[in-house]
């Protein structure tokens, strides 16, 4: 059944798969910006970020011990409203301030401008009943291109990624690389339509596997966590999330006498909007979490158990950031700095 319920794409992706990443550095000429990067997810969601700095700062904005970081975010259509300004000042600036070493550039200005260059229109997949669309998330906010409409999480993710990369491209010292991932929690019927699951699991406990097979719960209203949702999935989602991780260094663990290093990803930005958490998913994820990395014992002692699905969403985002986005970033810099015939060390001499 899952393969028959096709989406408009030729090959639907699995629940945890990202759309193909495309990173281009130095898109704008050096006369216009110190560093610029275009980041896109799939062929239809992309942002261009441009960094100027460190440059001279106005006296009234000057900080004596660190650089002033000024961010602007411009939507694709319509005017910059409260949503765009709040994203720039409240989200982007705070996230970038956590990683940029501002104290190295006192009394100067670093300007980051992010422009959404392409945004995916919601394409209804085949087999989706239009009349059911009222089951999507209801909203008190207007829709795009009204200036008060909220930005989609995928758009925010590409903007944060583009801005972080543009800063590195501009040569501004950062303590970590930012990788932002968007996640949506959708009803099962939407996930079946747009993504490829591995069929039904036979485990009676109803575990959710990493590769996206869903439980035998049989409940159509049960929810599935999707990584990197497209616009249609976001519209139908019960809740949408943006998680940005700062990746620096490695967490080294010793397994059977062998040292294993995993890039350390610290959560530096969380934006979640949407509805209530489905408590059915909570108990099944807790009972049979195969990875064990989520410390289920500890979590179960915390009073507010509905957060488990949320924590699972963070975990998925983290593995996507570590597994997909960070390597793509490293590769893009390797290609740019070392040429396409990369001669660098396999572990990456390029310090991020």
Partner 1 sequence: MSSTTPASTDSSSLLARLHPSHYLSTHLSHSSRPSSSRSPLDFPDVDLNLGPIASSSSSNRPEWIPSPSALARVGSTTVICSITPSIVYPPQMSTPSSSQASSTVVPSINLTPLSSPSADFQSGAPSNFAQCTTERLYEFLDSSLPFEPELLHIPTEGGEAAGAGVEEAKRGPPRAKWCLFADCTVVGYDGALLETAMLAITAALRQLWLPKSVFSLDENVVIASPADYWSLSAHMDSLPLAFSFAIYDEQLLACPSSFEADLAQSSMAMCLSAEKAKERKASRSGKREDTGDEWSLCAMHSTGPLRATNVALSPGKGKPLGDEELIARCLALASARAGQIAATLRAKEADVESAMQKARGAQQ
Residues that bind partner 1 (CB under 8 A): 82-83, 85-87, 89-91, 94-95, 98, 130-131, 133-134, 136, 138-143, 146, 148, 150, 239, 246, 266-277, 294-295, 298-299, 301-304, 306-307, 310-311, 314-315
Supply the minimum distance, in Å, between the C-beta of residue 80 and partner 1.
10
40 versus 223: smaller Cβ distance to partner 1: 223
Supply the minimum distance, in Å, between the C-beta of residue 167 and partner 1.
16
Token pair 């996206």 in the structure block, residue: 212
Supply the minimum distance, in Å, between the C-beta of residue 221 and partner 1.
14
Supply the minimum distance, in Å, between the C-beta of residue 349 and partner 1.
26
126 versus 302: smaller Cβ distance to partner 1: 302
Do 248 and 352 touch, CB atoms closer than 8 A? yes
Supply the minimum distance, in Å, between the C-beta of residue 274 and partner 1.
5
Break the chain down into helix, strand, coil percent, rounded to 5. Answer: 30, 25, 45
Supply the minimum distance, in Å, between the C-beta of residue 282 and partner 1.
10
Q: Are strands 68-74 and 109-118 parallel, antiparallel or unpaired?
A: parallel
277 versus 329: smaller Cβ distance to partner 1: 277
Supply the minimum distance, in Å, between the C-beta of residue 196 and partner 1.
26
In whole angstroms, what is the distance from residue 3 CA to residue 199 CA? 9
In whole angstroms, what is the distance from residue 211 CA to residue 166 CA? 32
Token pair 């489905």 in the structure block, residue: 278
299 versus 350: smaller Cβ distance to partner 1: 299
In whole angstroms, what is the distance from residue 164 CA to residue 178 CA? 6
Name the residue among 216, 219, 224 with its Cα closest to residue 193: 224
Supply the minimum distance, in Å, between the C-beta of residue 112 and partner 1.
15
Supply the minimum distance, in Å, between the C-beta of residue 193 and partner 1.
16
Do 117 and 76 touch, CB atoms closer than 8 A? yes
25 versus 241: smaller Cβ distance to partner 1: 241
- Counting Cα atoms < 13 Å in the Cβ hemisphere of 125 gives 23
146 versus 330: smaller Cβ distance to partner 1: 146
257 versus 301: smaller Cβ distance to partner 1: 301
Cis omega (within 30 of 0) on the bond before 145?
A: yes
36 versus 150: smaller Cβ distance to partner 1: 150
In whole angstroms, what is the distance from residue 269 CA to residue 95 CA? 6
SS3 state at 292: coil
In whole angstroms, what is the distance from residue 118 CA to residue 155 CA? 9
261 versus 275: smaller Cβ distance to partner 1: 275
In whole angstroms, what is the distance from residue 212 CA to residue 203 CA? 14
The β-bridge partners of 68 are 109
Write out the two tokens for 340: 């396409």
Do 98 and 84 touch, CB atoms closer than 8 A? no
């Amino acid at each position: 059944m899952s393969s028959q319920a096709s989406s408009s794409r030729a090959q639907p992706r699995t629940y945890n798969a990202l759309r193909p990443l495309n990173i281009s550095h130095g898109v704008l000429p050096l006369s216009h910006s110190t560093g610029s990067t275009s980041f896109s997810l799939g062929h239809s969601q992309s942002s261009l970020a441009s960094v100027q700095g460190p440059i001279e700062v106005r006296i009234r904005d000057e900080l004596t011990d660190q650089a002033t970081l000024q961010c602007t975010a411009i939507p694709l259509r319509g005017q910059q409203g409260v949503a765009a300004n709040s994203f720039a000042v409240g989200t982007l600036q705070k996230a970038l301030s956590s990683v940029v070493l501002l104290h190295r550039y006192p009394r100067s200005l670093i300007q980051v401008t992010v422009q959404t260059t392409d945004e995916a229109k919601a394409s209804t997949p085949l087999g989706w009943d239009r009349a059911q669309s009222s089951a999507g998330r209801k909203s008190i906010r207007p829709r795009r291109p009204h200036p008060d409409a909220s930005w989609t999480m995928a758009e925010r993710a590409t903007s944060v990624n583009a801005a972080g990369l543009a800063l590195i491209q501009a040569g501004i010292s950062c303590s970590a690389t930012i990788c932002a991932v968007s996640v949506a929690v959708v009803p099962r019927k939407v996930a079946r339509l747009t993504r490829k699951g591995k069929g039904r699991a036979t485990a009676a406990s109803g575990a959710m596997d990493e590769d996206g097979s869903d439980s035998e719960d049989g409940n159509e209203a049960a929810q599935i966590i999707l990584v990197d949702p497209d616009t249609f999935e976001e519209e139908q989602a019960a809740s949408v999330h943006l998680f940005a991780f700062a990746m620096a260094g490695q967490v080294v663990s010793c397994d059977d006498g062998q040292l294993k290093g995993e890039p350390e990803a610290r959560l530096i930005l969380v934006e979640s909007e949407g509805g209530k958490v489905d408590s059915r998913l909570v108990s099944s994820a807790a009972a049979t979490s195969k990875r064990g990395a989520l410390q289920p014992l500890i979590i179960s002692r915390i009073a507010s158990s509905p957060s488990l699905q949320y924590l699972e969403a963070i975990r998925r985002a983290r593995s996507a950031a570590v597994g997909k986005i960070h390597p793509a970033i490293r590769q893009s810099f390797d290609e740019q700095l070392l040429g396409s015939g990369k001669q660098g060390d396999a572990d990456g001499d390029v310090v991020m």
